[in-house]
Amino acid sequence: MKKRSSGTKNEAKKKPNGDRSRKGERSKCCGADDKSNRRRNSIRQKNKGKPKHSRKTKEDSRSAEEAKEKEKEKEKKKEKDADKKKEKDKDKDKDKEKKKSRRKKNGISRMHPPSPSPANEPPKPPPLQPQEKLRFDNDKKLAMGLKFTVKDMEVTVLKLLGSGGFGDVYLVEDQKQSRYAMKTEYDRVGSASRMKMEVKAYDKINKAKKANAGCGSRLLSFFGSGAVENLKFFLMSLVGPSVEDLIVKYEICYGTALRLSIECFDGIVDLHNCGFVHRDIKPENYSIGLNEERRKVYLVDLGMVVRVIDDKEKGPLTSKYDFIGTQLYAPRTSHLGNVQTRRDDLESWLYSCVDIFAPNKLPWSREHDRHKILELKEEFFRNPPKDALSQMPSQFEDILKKIDSIGIHEKPDYKALHELLEQAAKDEEIDFDEPFEWEMGEAKKNGFGGDKKKPEDEPDCENTQMSVLMQQPNNDAAAKAIAL
């Protein structure tokens, strides 16, 4: 057999030659690569430090144009602003020159302005002192001379004016010697406190007065409130004696009784327009003004007020109290334990008018049983008592019917009621500028229409009234009693 070793030898011989040729080719390639690398490196060294150029698209060119336009607009705005500043500076320079010329004419030096004359300077109030601790006398009343700070004002207690079941009232004086009444309430919290609602009411009334000059003209002004330890207090305007005290002490004429009735009615209208129902209308809660206001009657004591309810769906029908008010003047609603509305204030006003014209002529004036009094008041509207109404203007019969026809939440027709009162005054030729009997200064025992006396055992209402001494009209030193 032939051996294949020769074939393998030939193949072996050929292989080394083939490998050599490939190595040669590789070496040639490596040399070409080195040349290209050298070229690249030389180009890179030449281009060092030169900016690289990128290919710009159409969008890039547009954005560059927009940026240039924006820069131009900014430059234009800067130029406009600079022009405006120059104009303002010119105006300022002109104003300065005008001022300088005026100073030269008037002989005023800028470095040495004229010193104000001490005679023309208003006196500066002394600085407010820190609030003192409460001090009491032997009767557990505030000590005289005690100082209270209210807002930017400091007042000094001068004397006690009156006391009641819900607090005390003091005469106080500020740093300018202006006098006020300061009502206090001690150690009462939550529902036992009446001052919180009273302060809210006076605050709202003050805002209404500022917004409208003619609003609340027969309601007292409010000068701020505060608290020291367990004592709450607020300041209100000073007024004269109560209508109740005056009709008891003085014999009043028919015209005075009608004038008082109209003034009391206007006070209720003012309070209702400010958004409140009084709930304790009676002669004791009306006070005469002082000095220029001595022929004006003010409605006072707002400790029992509630907000006016226009819609029955917005408020409850029944009250949380069994009875609110004074039995002699309280409306039928109060006897029934229902919530009082504007109609009920007018009903109490009507009872007060009867008591002013015809003292002690209300059919229930000697009755103490509350249920019996309710029956008599209902009978009063069904069959008005002739002995009482005969001493009053005939228009009060129509007024009685109008008040009885008002709905629970209905707004009363104040204009129609006031027209009837004006007609009564016109029929009697009433002069509203005529002095009242107490301005004459002569007191008499008997009141108009009979002897005005209160039953000794007449029950008080939930709010015991306080008599507050106030100064007499045209007499700063005198003092008088007023029910607040």
Residue 125 tokens, joined: 């109030």
**278 and 304 in contact (C-beta within 8 Å)?**
yes
**3-state per-residue secondary structure call for the chain:** CCCCHHHHHHHHHHHHHHHHHHHHHHHHHHHHHHHHHHHHHHHHHHCCCCCCCCCCCHHHHHHHHHHHHHHHHHHHHHHHHHHHHHHHHHHHHHHHHHHHHHHHHHCCCCCCCCCCCCCCCCCCCCCCCCCCCCCECCCCCECCCCEEEECCEEEEEEEEEEEECCEEEEEEECCCCCEEEEEEEECCCHHHCCHHHHHHHHHHHHHHHHHCCCCCCCECCEEEEEEECCEEEEEECCCCCEHHHHHHHCCCCHHHHHHHHHHHHHHHHHHHHCCEECCCCCHHHEEECCHHHCCCEEECCCCCCEECCCCHHHCCCECCCCCCCCCCCCCHHHHCCECCCHHHHHHHHHHHHHHHHCCCCCCCCCCCCHHHHHHHHHHHHHCCCHHHHCCCCCHHHHHHHHHHHCCCCCCCCHHHHHHHHHHHHHHCCCCCCCCCHHHHCCCCCCECCECCCCCCCCCCCCCCCCEEEEEECCEEEEEEEEEC
CA 198, 203, 208, 210 torsion-angle sign: positive
The verdict on whether residue 183 carries a ligand-binding annotation is: yes
Beta bridge partners of 306: 277
Could you tell me which of 258, 220, 233 has the C-alpha nearest to residue 396? 258
Residue 398 tokens, joined: 């129509």
Residue 462 tokens, joined: 């939930």
**3-state per-residue secondary structure call for 258-277:** HHHHHHHHHHHHHHHHCCEE
Q: Which residues are annotated as a binding site for ATP?
A: 183
Q: Which residues are annotated as a binding site?
A: 183
